[in-house]
Structures are given as C-alpha cells and as structure tokens.
Structure 1
C-alpha cells in the first residue's frame, strides 16, 4: 500500500508550502500571458473588509456542501479563524441546513466553545474537534467536516486512499488515518485533543468509523474544496474496488509530482473560485 496508516502522528517529509516557480508564480496554472482574466487573491484595505470576505466564503462553502448533498441533519461543521482575533473562529450555526447558512446567521466562538457573536448555539461536536485543532495549530486557518456517504463508508475500512488517479494523487502522503476515538461521537473535550495532533503537515484525515476532515493553512476555500475532492476520491476508490479487480496505481514519484502541482493549498483555493462565483450568482440570499 502506498500510504501508511499512522498509529501516532509523524512528521511529514512533504514541504509545507509550494515552492515558487522561476518566474515568481505560485502555480503553473497561473497564466504567463499578462492581461487575461484570472482569479487573484484579494488585498484588503482593513480588517473589516477581510472579515466580510472570509464570512462570505465560509457561507459559500456551506452552500457548496449543500449542493454536494453533504447534509445530514445538524451534523457537519466548517470553521475559519477570524483575521483580527485569531483565538476566535467563525462557524455555521447549529441545526441550520447548509443551504440556509448566510452571513447574518454565522456565529463567532472561542476555543472554549463560548459563542461571542451570533444568536445561534454552537455544534458541540464541531467545537470539540475544530477548537482543539485550531488551538493546537495556530497555522491552521480553516477546517471542514461533514457526515458524507462515501467518506463515511470508506472510513470504516480504516485505511488510506491509494493513488489510483491524478485526483487521488493530490492526497498522496498528505493525509492520515486517525484511529483514536474511532466511532465514538466527539462530544467530550478529550476526544478533540486525541484528534488534533494528527493534523501536523497534512491537509486531510480519514477518521476511522467516523468520516472525513480537512484543514487548511491557506483559506476556507482550500479546506472546502479538498473536502469535496476527498469525498469524490473515496467514492471512486470504492467503485474501483467493487469491480473485484486490482487497480493500477500511480507510481510514488508521479504521485508526488501530481500532488505538488494539483494538490496544493493554492490549487484548492483556485478550484473553489469557480464554485464561489456560481453560488454567489445563483444564491444571492447568502449575503443577507
């Protein structure tokens, strides 16, 4: 098997940030030809503008999860760290469908699970898992978790994804399988502490008998897209294995090359821009 199931957190040999290209670009997908329309990360005049931007992207991520069918009652939580008060994070409100999340009903909470802004309650499981990771890893800006069909099914196997495709290679040596607290609902704070150390230098985790989690040191957009991608990869691997035939795997060298060029935080952010523009145009109520 090409990716190791870790029984305890280990340091990754993967670089934490993608190296710049010789011409200063972050990615080969950025156009070399000047003057073309292409998404660029915004520059903010003040922290209020940056906060509004983050909240709108968090709402869009929730709406994207609704479009993907990731809803399961009140389960599922997405978080992004506040730009001015990094000890606080914005998250979706408890018992509100992903499709009904909007800027006005987001809540701001601290690492103790106390809501400091907003009218809704916080999801206890979301606080336990996300707050522990945010507090233990100051570099992690955003996290996503939902109870999805294929991710939950694949998590029952207790093993990592194999690089069966270019898409799956984006997670090669960049995800872990967590066995701690497997299958037990995370409502006790000790459960969050058992999980948080696993997120060192990886963007995704498969929690055995539970489901998928993603974390980003770049943006909520990257965390959301890589969650969508991870669910898709779990579905694809389950479909391949259902044929009864052993898949041909991408070699470790080619998997690392693909991960570097199509599995970076920046690429996750870039993928999400198309999703954001579609949702912002078709669901303007998100801004209310």
Structure 2
C-alpha cells in the first residue's frame, strides 16, 4: 500500500513527560549514551513499515515464549494512514513463521483488503470491536497461554504481590461477559469492548488474557508477556498455601506510574526486538 505523501504523517500519541522533559526516570539525563530513541517518520510508508516489522517481532516473541496453541492467538496494529484498517497475523500460520510478506490488512467488518491469508474469526470479533469502539487503542494482543488461561478460570483480578504485578494495579479488569464461550459472533466482541476504557489489560474469565495499547504494538506485546508472567508467579505463590504479602495501594500506584506505563512497555520490548532482528532475519522476508 502506498502512502499519500501530501497528507500529514499521523504521529503517535504524545507520551506524558516529567518536569525535566524526560518521558521516564529511566531516560538518561547524561548526553551521548547509547539508549533506545523513540521513532520518528518522514512519511507514512516509513511509519507503516516500522509498525509491520514490530508486529512481526511481537509474533516471533510470542513464539519464543511458547504462546502458540494451534491457530489461536492474534495481534493487531492500526494502519497509520487508514485507522479503520488494522494489520494482523494470518490465520493458521505459526507465530514463528509470521513475516512481513504474510501479514494481512483487514477492516472492522472482517474483510481482508490486503494479503493472501484468511483472517482469524475470533481475532476479528474481539479486536475489531475494541478497535472500533476505542479509536485511541492502536494495538491489541491475545493468545491462549497456559498460566493466563489457568488464572482466568479464577475470575478475579491480579493481586499486587510484587513490583512487576503492581504495574497492573488498577490498570486491568476482569471481564465476565461471554466467559468460556468461543467468541465467533459479533455480539461477543461488543460485550467485551466496553471494558477496555482506560486500562491496558483484561483477564477474560474462562478464556485468557488480552492487552491493549494506545501507543504501540511493542507496549501491547510486552505487557501481555508481563501479565502472563505475573499470573504464573501468583499461581506459584498461592500453591505454597501461604498468604502472600501485598504491596500496599500507595506503593502499587507509584510502581505502576514508573514501571507500568506505555513508554516502559515500549522500552522493555526494545532488547527483544534487537535480539530477534539479529537472530531471525527471515522475519523481514
């Protein structure tokens, strides 16, 4: 798809800044150090290619994490020129075999407008409903993972038992609508989408985990991996039979602010992307 070059490039949402102008306390104040820089784009084609590469990398990262389960699992990112369309991984292609050439572009009705592969029906129902209801949400991730699915059976939110878990404090919801029923009808997506107002993650009872980002595919992907990890940790702690000590609300909010933001999710994904780009160059085919 070619960009219309006389149109302004749609910029990513503006990230909140500290009083000194930095995006995060992790951003170095000392000049000249090697540190990941937020991307800028000369045109829509450059931005689109950047997003597609990160979407592929997110799929490959899910493969490394063992998040595959047959054809289940779908990741999406809005197109920068046509926000009513989103790029996603193809149906029945393993996460480890997703590359630039087999990505597909679809609309909110489930019609593939670019690409050769079919669309995952469940991915369309859930993701399209959320994307359409929330224009601010740029990216979503979902997969049928072992620990996230197990924890979702409890129908309860994640507890702030660690600094990592505190990143999700008051920033995720438990969705009970359509719990356990395969989401292949559009009404299922409608029932779920309203819950994503102002949060980055959801635990869908008897189903699994979903994450959403208003900034980047990298953030959505990392916070999905982090949420799966936190579910695993909480299940392990509870298996001891001892009640865990919670991080109190004030400290949880402080941790969430500094280690649970869109920027931090993006930043965490940068070494993952660099590792994948160096070890799996075929993902750019």
* Residues 56-67 of structure 1 mapped to structure 2, 5 A cutoff: 56-67=53-64
Q: Can you give the 5+ residue segments of structure 1 that lack an aligned partner in the other structure?
A: 1-15
Q: Measure, in 2, the Cα distance between the counterparts of 1:25 and 1:136.
A: 31
* Residues 144-155 of structure 1 mapped to structure 2, 5 A cutoff: 144-155=141-152
1:22 aligns with 2:46: no
Compute the TM-score of the two structures, normalised by the length of structure 1: 0.94
User: Could you report, residue by residue, the CA deviation over 1:48-83 in whole angstroms, capped at 9, with x for unpaired residues?
Assistant: 000000000000000000000000000000000000
* Residues 204-243 of structure 1 mapped to structure 2, 5 A cutoff: 204-243=201-240
Change (3 A) 1:166 1:226: same
Counterpart for residue 8 of structure 2: none
What is the CA distance between 1:233 and its match in structure 2?
Answer: 0.1
Compute the TM-score of the two structures, normalised by the length of structure 2: 0.95
CA RMSD between the two structures:
1.0
Q: Measure, in 2, the Cα distance between the counterparts of 1:227 and 1:153.
A: 15
Question: For 2:193, what is the secondary structure of its paired residue?
Answer: helix
Match of 2:198 among 197, 201, 222: 201
Aligned residues: 273
* Residues 267-286 of structure 1 mapped to structure 2, 5 A cutoff: 267-286=264-283
Match of 1:189 among 186, 189, 195: 186
Counterpart for residue 259 of structure 1: 256
Does the aligned pair in 2 maintain the 1:61–1:220 contact within 8 Å? yes
Q: Can you give the 5+ residue segments of structure 2 that lack an aligned partner in the other structure?
A: 1-12
Q: Measure, in 2, the Cα distance between the counterparts of 1:281 and 1:203.
A: 29
Counterpart for residue 250 of structure 1: 247
What is the CA distance between 1:224 and its match in structure 2?
Answer: 0.0
* Residues 20-59 of structure 1 mapped to structure 2, 5 A cutoff: 20-59=17-56
| Greater RCO structure (CA 8 Å; 6+ sep) | 1
Match of 1:159 among 156, 159, 172: 156
Q: Runs ≥4 in structure 1, deviation > 6 angstroms?
A: none
What is the CA distance between 1:19 and its match in structure 2?
Answer: 4.0
Counterpart for residue 90 of structure 2: 93
